[in-house]
Amino acid sequence: MMTNMKKKPAKLAAVQITTGPDIEKNLAAIAEQIQIAAQQGANIVALPEVFACYDSQQYLVLGEHEMTAQGRLRSQMSAWAKTNGVYLIGGTIPVLEPEENKVYPRCYFYSDQGEELGFYDKIHLFDVDIDDAQGRYRESDMFLSGDEIKVFPTPYGNVGLTVCYDLRFPYLYDRLRKAGADIISVVAAFTATTGKAHWQALLQARAIEQQCYILASNQWGQHDEKRQTFGHSMVISPWGEVLDQLPTGQGIASAEIDLAEVQRIRSIMPIANHQRSL
């Protein structure tokens, strides 16, 4: 179990944008929303999955540049965190693995001083068939999967990281809670079709099961001729309440949190103590 820092009052914010073909425009949209979140008092800000680029044809080139901390996107995330004084959950960016000629969908985590504290590689890859315009999704054609959970201590709570399709695997969230997570982020590009059916239900289930705050940052809108995402970024309490939600459009969903509530709920309903191995 991770040793907790002394916890401070906190506000969480989930950024929602529509990533398009223009990387500079995408980065400008993200920068604006981080600044707004910080001005509204956010301490921890999450960006959505593939926030800089949603075009797999560009991932290898982008990923080669992000192999070091001096990469454009990594250095930009560091600067955003430091300039705005927030802990930043950096959505995902592609990072090249040259021997495989594929990229990791990697979520970096930054301190409010801009220090790169570490990263999480998406464990579950989205290889499914969906009844939408895209139809066939095969992330494993381009991506490599990770194999480690990640929880980072902050003055505002211990933060566990997950990405999009991970949301459908409860065991991962159970492991994050057992590793000390008070807050679990879900950075996503959840499709409109699957989002309408399952997004909120899954987020609330993970919050209720693990008795933790869920910070969910999703893409929204039409990205190209085929891809459409669901939006509905939100913050959920450890009792499963939706504290704030942004159904559509660019912007943020934010809410103040109280880690004493995490401890209270876990105390009155000690689910973790009641688990059995069958």
Residues designated as active site: 49, 122, 164
Q: What does the CA dihedral 192, 27, 80, 104 come to, rounded to 10 degrees?
A: 60
Question: Of 50, 60, 146, nearest to 96 (Cα)?
Answer: 60
User: Is the Cβ–Cβ distance between 62 and 71 less than 8 Å?
Assistant: no
Q: Encoding tokens for residue 205?
A: 């289930």
> CA-CA distance, 164 to 124, in Å (whole number)?
9
> CA-CA distance, 215 to 37, in Å (whole number)?
14
> CA-CA distance, 19 to 26, in Å (whole number)?
6
Coil, helix or strand at residue 160: strand
| DSSP for residue 23 | H
User: Cα–Cα–Cα angle for 130, 25, 140, nearest 5°?
Assistant: 35
User: Is the Cβ–Cβ distance between 199 and 190 less than 8 Å?
Assistant: yes
